[in-house]
């Protein structure tokens, strides 16, 4: 049932249909929209287009999407971006794909029709099943082999749910008539007219079915999750040709040559190709990743070990930590408390006072992620006095994003034993200069914001463009990475220490 993988590389001259105009197309499929971006030979984004799609919440804790709607949105974004830029498809030398991770699609190989709605990464329907696994004698083996913490996020339990709950699917899956894919796999299947069924190491490392070290589907894990191997895609490197977008799709055949899950793509888009380089994405939550080189990391601080997108055939790794509520705390101030009218307003308000006057906010609305992993923690605003007002609370919310990120970076340094020298940032809340300066202060490290903050799309473009010889390798794309602003720490050591103590005290009160 495996799909033959075409040659992984070809030379620059072969790859470029129009010698003067090698463009690279990036398909960036996120949780709320599918985007397409086009880059020129200098790595500059010349066009971007986004098409939104719906999310469904049929029961409390359940999150679903329509995989066909995702495909249509992605197709429409790709066609529009080429049209808007006035670039013919045959001038595109490579296409890279990046995607919301873990979201699970299962479809019929013959008809190409999904057998159920896609189960989105946020969906908690398999929490009980995962609870049982966590309590079982297999728990430490599963976590050790995959580098993950057993949780409903990852695809394995979602596939299991579909096989158990959609009538007739399990039997057909045994024979390879039913296929599984994360969104990368689903898009590639459709882009190639059903000819290619692959995923890359970064996406596969989020299924809880891959042995992180060897990069292969693991028979013991497949047995535990009761998933037939025949339905799984082949695992391929993140940079290298896997097939062609059919000529009927965008107007010319385009090689698909880069694949990575969104956070790993962002790591590449931040040009973090070497061990110790770190990025933090400030969106709804925060996702921090540090490149860990070619040796599989083992976290002793409750971080995840995962695959990084490699530019060659070597296995590359990263450690990852996430903060559940980051920019969402600012959203909460706006939408639930109504004390600001726009997220951007938080910056001036926070900067209008020298400090919070001892107010701390711990936005543990859904528990605390790494390194605490306390699902019973709940949010609090602590240290209020008669002098506390809107500005103090807003500032405390922004500071909480930086404090939580500092805890991730501490855990990463403790795991690797190596200091992280600077933090590269992106995401919607990274535009907030107050937050970035406070982040640098509370880390005691420079925070660096690049010119192009669409790092996810950019990373997928790099992976594809390098594979097709548009760019020569990491050194060349690193030279494209330009700093927009660098925030140097100015806070004294003593003040930082006392602020961190106060934060820890507030976190302790939010737990349990
Ligand atoms: P996602 O990809 O998770 O949807 P984005 O990267 O688009 O998130 O970032 C949006 C988040 O950033 C929102 O939670 C919003 O509250 C926050 N945000 C946007 N602009 C600012 C700002 N200027 N200051 C602080 N937070 C902001």
Instruction: State the distance from the centre of ligand 1 to the C-alpha of 409, rounded, in angstroms.
Output: 20
Q: What is the per-residue DSSP string for 32-98?
A: SEEEEEEE-TTS-EEEEEEEE---B-SSTT--EE-HHHHHHHHHHHHHHHHHHHT--GGGEEEEEEE
Neighbours of 9 (CB within 10 A): 15
Query: What SS3 class is residue 289?
Result: strand
Instruction: State the distance from the centre of ligand 1 to the C-alpha of 432, rounded, in angstroms.
Output: 9
Q: What is the per-residue DSSP string for 447-460?
A: EEEES---HHHHHH
- CB–CB of 301/414 below 8 Å? yes
Q: What is the pLDDT of residue 375?
A: 78
- From 99, 284, 438, mutation site for ligand 1 pocket: most ligand atoms within 8 A of C-beta: 284
| Contact 363 CB / ligand 1 (< 6 Å) | no
Residue with CA at minimum distance from ligand 1 atom 26: 429
Q: What is the pLDDT of residue 12?
A: 32
Q: What is the per-residue DSSP string for 220-232?
A: HHHHHHT--GGGS
Token pair, residue 340, equals 């600001």
Atom of ligand 1 lying closest to residue 281 CA: 6
Q: What is the pLDDT of residue 119?
A: 96
324 Cβ neighbours under 8 A, 6+ residues apart: 285, 364, 365, 366, 367, 368, 369
Cα distances from 321 to residues 288, 343, 413, 496, 498, in angstroms, run 5, 24, 12, 22, 24
Q: For the chain (length 512 residues), average pLDDT per consecutive 10?
A: 37 36 93 94 94 90 94 97 94 97 96 96 91 95 95 94 96 94 98 97 97 96 97 96 96 97 96 93 92 91 93 90 91 94 96 96 89 87 95 98 96 88 94 98 97 93 97 93 95 97 96 85
Residue with CA at minimum distance from ligand 1 atom 15: 327
Q: Which of 317, 303, 292, 318 is nearest to 143 (CA)?
A: 303
Atom of ligand 1 lying closest to residue 30 CA: 2
| Contact 334 CB / ligand 1 (< 6 Å) | no
| Contact 263 CB / ligand 1 (< 6 Å) | no
Q: What is the pLDDT of residue 415?
A: 86
The predicted model scores a pTM of 0.89
Residue with CA at minimum distance from ligand 1 atom 1: 283
| Contact 456 CB / ligand 1 (< 6 Å) | no
Q: Which of 104, 50, 101 is nearest to 74 (CA)?
A: 50
CA distance 425 to 448: 6
Can you point out the beta strands (E) in 109-161? 118-119
| Contact 369 CB / ligand 1 (< 6 Å) | no
100 Cβ neighbours under 8 A, 6+ residues apart: 29, 30, 31, 120, 121, 183, 262
DSSP-assigned letter for residue 318 = E
Q: What is the pLDDT of residue 16?
A: 38
CA distance 251 to 105: 27
């Amino acid at each position: 049932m495996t799909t033959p993988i075409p040659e992984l590389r070809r030379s620059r001259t072969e790859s470029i249909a129009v010698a003067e105009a090698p463009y690279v197309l990036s398909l960036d499929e996120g949780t709320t929209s599918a985007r397409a971006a086009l880059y020129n030979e200098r790595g500059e984004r010349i066009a971007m287009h986004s098409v939104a799609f719906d999310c469904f919440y049929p029961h409390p804790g359940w999150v679903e999407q329509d995989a066909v709607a995702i495909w249509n949105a992605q197709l429409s974004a790709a066609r529009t971006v080429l049209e808007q830029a006035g670039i013919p498809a045959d001038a595109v030398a490579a296409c890279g794909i990046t995607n919301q991770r873990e979201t699970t699609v299962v479809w019929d190989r013959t008809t190409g029709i999904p057998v159920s709605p896609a189960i989105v990464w946020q969906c908690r329907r398999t929490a009980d099943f995962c609870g049982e696994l966590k309590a079982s004698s297999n728990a430490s083996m599963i976590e050790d082999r995959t580098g993950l913490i057993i949780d409903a996020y990852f695809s394995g339990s979602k596939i299991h749910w579909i096989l158990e709950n959609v009538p007739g699917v399990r039997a057909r899956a045994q024979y390879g008539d039913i296929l599984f894919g994360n969104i990368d796999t689903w898009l590639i299947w459709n882009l190639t007219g059903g000819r290619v069924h692959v995923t890359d190491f970064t996406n596969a490392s989020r299924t809880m079915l891959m042995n992180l070290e060897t990069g292969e589907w693991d028979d013991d894990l497949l047995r535990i999750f009761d998933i037939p191997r025949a339905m799984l895609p082949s695992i391929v490197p993140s940079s290298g040709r896997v097939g062609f977008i059919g000529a009927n799709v965008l107007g010319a055949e385009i090689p698909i040559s880069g694949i990575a899950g969104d956070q790993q793509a962002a790591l590449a888009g931040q040009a973090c190709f070497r061990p110790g380089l770190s990025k933090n994405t400030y969106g709804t939550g925060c996702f921090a990743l540090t490149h860990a080189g070619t040796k599989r990391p083992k976290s002793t601080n409750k971080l995840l070990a995962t695959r990084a997108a490699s530019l060659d055939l070597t296995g590359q790794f990263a450690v990852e930590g996430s903060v559940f509520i980051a920019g969402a705390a600012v959203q909460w101030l706006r939408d639930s408390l109504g004390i600001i009218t726009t997220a951007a307003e938080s910056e001036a308000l926070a900067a209008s006072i020298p400090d919070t006057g001892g107010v701390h906010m711990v936005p543990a609305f859904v528990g605390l992620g790494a390194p605490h992993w306390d699902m019973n923690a709940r949010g609090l605003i602590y240290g209020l006095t008669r002098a506390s007002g809107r500005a103090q609370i807003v500032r405390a919310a922004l500071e909480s994003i930086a404090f939580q990120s500092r805890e991730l970076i501490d855990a990463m340094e403790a795991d690797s034993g190596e200091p992280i020298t600077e933090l590269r940032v992106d995401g919607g809340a990274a535009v907030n200069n107050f937050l970035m300066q406070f982040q640098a202060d509370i880390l005691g490290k420079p925070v660096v914001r690049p010119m192009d903050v669409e790092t996810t799309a950019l990373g997928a473009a790099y992976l594809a463009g390098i594979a097709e010889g548009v760019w020569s390798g990491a050194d060349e794309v690193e030279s494209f990475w330009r700093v927009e602003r660098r925030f140097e720490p100015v806070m004294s050591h003593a003040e930082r220490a006392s602020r961190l103590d106060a934060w820890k005290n507030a976190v302790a009160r939010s737990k349990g």
